Amino acid sequence: MTRIPLVDYLVLDEDPHLVAHECTSCGARYFDRRSACAKCGLQHFSTVTVSSTGVLRSFSIVQFAAAGVDVPFVAGVVDCDGTLVRGNVVNTPPDPEHVTLGMPVRLTTVPVGTDPSGVEAVGYGFEPAN
């Protein structure tokens, strides 16, 4: 089966990971394409691998969403060794007993859907690391 990443910054290889554009002047990191750094204004970037492990810094248990989106789910912000990454917390019940600030998490891939020709779209999330 062919698999494709849902976002450009998800790399699907033997060890799936995220990549960011890092300003070569000040070190600010961005997942989207940039013409210039929002922090220092310079225009030179390199591609860097983002740590696949991190700590949950903020989260919300979402109870209401658009039609077709299963709720509840946990939307979070993960500190991956200094790079803040937005992503859902998956593979754990979406409640405060199982999702807590400061919990260690790791990147995981999540199938999003398959088209009629058998190509699977793959997203990412974070799951508890212990």
User: Binning pLDDT at 50, 70 and 90, where does residue 97 land?
Assistant: very high
Residue type for 116, please?
P
The percentage of the chain sitting over the pLDDT mark of 90, rounded to a whole number, equals 96
Q: What is the pLDDT of residue 130?
A: 78
Residues 81-94: tens digit of each pLDDT: 999 999 999 999 99
**What domain range includes position 120?**
3-128
> What is the domain count for the chain?
1
User: What mean pLDDT is reported for the chain?
Assistant: 96
Parallel/antiparallel/unpaired status of strands 3-5 and 10-11: unpaired
Q: Is the pLDDT of residue 1 over 80?
A: no
Q: What is the pLDDT of residue 106?
A: 98
- Cα separation, 41 vs 22, whole angstroms: 13
- Radius of gyration in angstroms for the set of CA atoms belonging to the chain, rounded to a whole number: 16
Residues 6-47: tens digit of each pLDDT: 999 999 999 999 999 999 999 999 999 899 999 999 999 999
Q: What is the pLDDT of residue 123?
A: 97
- Cα separation, 107 vs 111, whole angstroms: 13
- Cα separation, 89 vs 45, whole angstroms: 29
The answer to whether residues 78 and 101 touch, using CB atoms and an 8 Å cutoff, is: no
Q: What is the pLDDT of residue 63?
A: 96
Put simply, whether the predicted model's pTM sits higher than 0.95 gets the answer no
